[in-house]
Amino acid sequence: MKNDRIRKLLQTALPPVKADAAPSRDLWPAMQQRLRAQPTAQTNLNGAWLIGVWLDGVLAVGLVAFAAFLPASIPLLLYCL
Amino acid sequence: MRNEAGDLLNHFRQGNPEAFESLFHQHQRAVYGWILRITRNPEAAEELTIESFWRIHQAHMRFDPAQGFEGWARRIATRAALDWLRANRRHRELPLELCAKLPTPEQPDPAITAEIRAKVVLAFTRLPLNLRIAATLALVEQLPQKEVAAALGISVAAVKLRLFRARRLLRKELERQGITP
């Protein structure tokens, strides 16, 4: 009962969207524009990927160095993995 | 007919631009409507429809034609809408004027005053985002919980839990504002 009241209040304050709601214009031209800009986005993506790989490498080297100086920490590191 | 649709999906998976264009024209309205339900902002929904299809285009190789296009597109659109809501905190607030502009099937109940509606909207915008999305789709839009779960990438039990928490928080917030739901 209380749940119904909450639902009714919500539906009055935020009426459901019509099932046949449509965009105000054909979005295909804008989509084509976005696709043409894709190479730039791809380059950015590659840049982000390279940074990620580089950081992963630094982290791995750091962990190996840490394990070499403190061999007792190896079981803990393995547990965390 | 079914083979044609299957061929289209296979061509899309292989990166065929004509297949992508065809799928765009077939599904842009459904994707737009879905995003509008989540964001309740027509301008943002148009931009996010393009963003979603761009993500769909980028992920074509991960698409499984056996699973169908609509559900997959809906999951991607949901993620795009959530990203937008997270990044644009100010748009999380839903002014009554914006709600009034939405294409809705019926007029609001006149017995519930504008003041109460404003308080309900305020309480709703204060919900955590994951609860708000579940409540929008399942309580406001009355979509089946199974459909909501598939779009959010969670189980039906998790949807039920989110709805339970959303109702409890809404009730508390409304009571704090002097409304007894």
ipTM score of the complex?
0.74
- pLDDT tens digits for chain B (181 residues)? 557 777 899 999 999 999 999 999 999 999 999 999 999 899 999 999 999 999 999 999 999 998 889 999 999 999 999 999 988 866 555 555 555 555 555 555 666 677 888 888 888 888 999 999 999 999 999 999 999 999 999 999 999 999 999 999 999 998 988 877 6
Report CB contact under 8 Å: B124, A10: yes
Please check whether residue B107 lies inside any domain of the structure. yes
> Is A2's CB within 8 Å of B116's CB?
no
Same domain (yes/no): B6, B85: yes
Domain that includes residue B123, residue range: 93-176
**Taking CA atoms, what residue in B is nearest to A31?**
B50
Find the closest chain B residue to A5 by CA distance: B181
User: Is residue B137 domain-shared with residue B66, that is, in the same domain?
Assistant: no
pLDDT per residue as tens digits for the range A33-51: 999 987 555 545 555 666 7
Q: What is the CATH number of the domain that holds B10?
A: 1.10.1740.10
Q: Which residues in chain B touch residue A2, judged by CB atoms under 8 angstroms apart?
A: 167, 171, 181
Chain A interface, mutation test: which of B139, B167, B172, B173, most A Cβ atoms within 10 Å? B139
- B181 falls within a domain: no
Burial of B61 (0-12, 13-18, 19+ CB in 10 A): exposed
Reported for B19-26, long-range contacts at CB under 8 A and 24+ positions apart, including other chains, are B20/B56, B20/B57, B20/B60, B21/A28, B23/B56, B23/B69, B24/A27, B24/A28, B24/A31, B24/B53, B25/A28
Report pLDDT digits (tens) over B50-93: 999 999 999 999 999 988 899 999 999 999 999 999 888 665 55
